[in-house]
Amino acid sequence: MFWLTSIVFTYLADSGLKNQNTISLIEDWNAIIKQKHDSEIIILGSSRAKKHFNPSIIYEITDKSCYNLGIDGSKTMMQYAKWMTYTKYNKFPRYVIFNIEPGTFGIDSILFDKEQYLPFYNEPTVYYYLAKTLTVTEKYLSIFKYHGYSSYFYKGIGNIFSTYSADTLINGFTPLPLQAKSFDWENNNSDFSLSENNLTAGLNYIEKVYDQCQLYGSQLILVYSPQYYTSNYSIFMDSVINFIESKQITLLDYRHSPICKDKNLFYDSEHLNYKGADNFSQLFADDFNKLVQKTK
C-alpha cells in the first residue's frame, strides 16, 4: 500500500513542478522539453557557459538562433545528459559550441543543485546518467528523492492544477551581477590538477558530441571562455591539445583576451558578470562569423 501511495504522490509532485515557471532551475529543463527551440547554435558547458554566452547578442551579430544549455556546477556527464535531452525534443543544431575547462571535466559523483532534476527522473536521457549518483532507495522508491527537498514536494503538490507557461530565461542564459562581495581577488592563482580518469571521461563525452555532429553534418567548436588572469590552467590545455588536433576540431581560446585582465568584467575569477558576458558574446559572435565564412 505504501509503495502504491508513494508512486501516486511522486507523480503528482513531479507533475506539479513541471507545471510551474517560478523555480528557474526546473524551468530551465522545462524550456528544452516543452518548447520547440530548434536553434541553429547550441552552447554546452558548465556555469561558465551559462553565464558567458548571451544568445540574444549572438543572434544579433550572427543572424543565427542560439540557445544556451549551460548547467551550473556540473561536469561533462550531466552536461551531456542535458544535451541529449535537448536533441530528443528539438532539431539537431547546425553548430555546437562546447565551452571547456578542467574543473568540470569528468563524471558527476554528486549532483549540484539536485532539485533541478527532481521532476525529470522519468526522462530516460536524464535518468541514465542521474542513476550513477543515486542511492539504492532513490532508484527503487523514487519518493525518497524528495528527502531533504520537502519544500519542492509540497510545491509540486500545490501546483498540480497549474498550467505551464513559457520560460522567463534569456534562451537559457542567466547573467551574473557585477562582483561577488567576498571574493579574494589577490589570492587566486592556481593550477588545476586534473585526474587521468576525469580527463578521459571528459574527452569521451566531447567525442560523443563530435561523432553526433559528424553524423548530422554539423560543426563542433570548442571554446575556452575568459577567466581572470590569475587563473592558470595551462596543464589542462596541454592535455587536451592532442585530442583537438586528432579530430581537427576548431578551438577558440580566449585565455589571453584583454577581457581576462579587466576585473570590472568579472563576478569572480571564473565567471564574467553581465557586462563581461555581453562583451565576450560580441567578441565570440564576431569570431564565429569569421570562422563560418572561412569554412564555406
Please name the amino acid found at residue 38.
Answer: D
Q: Please state whether the predicted TM-score (pTM) of the whole model is above 0.75.
A: yes
Residue with cell 532539431: 91
Kindly report, residue by residue over 66-90, the tens digit of the pLDDT.
999 999 989 999 999 999 999 999 9
Query: In the chain, what is the straight-line distance between the N-terminal and C-terminal CA atoms, in Å?
Result: 63
The gap from C-alpha 121 to its chain's centroid, in whole angstroms, comes to: 18
**pLDDT value at residue 272:** 96
Residue 151 phi, psi dihedral angles, 5° rounding: -65, -35
Radius of gyration of the chain (CA): 20
CATH code, domain with 258: 3.40.50.1110
Higher pLDDT, 234 or 107: 107
Please name the amino acid found at residue 287.
Answer: D
**Number of folded domains that form the chain:** 1
Kindly report, residue by residue over 172-215, the tens digit of the pLDDT.
898 898 886 666 666 665 555 678 888 888 999 999 999 999 99
The gap from C-alpha 35 to its chain's centroid, in whole angstroms, comes to: 18
Q: Does position 162 have pLDDT exceeding 70, yes or no?
A: no
Compute CA distances 176 → 47, 52, 54, 273, whole Å. Answer: 10, 9, 12, 5
Find the domain containing 270 and state its range: 2-295
**pLDDT value at residue 169:** 61
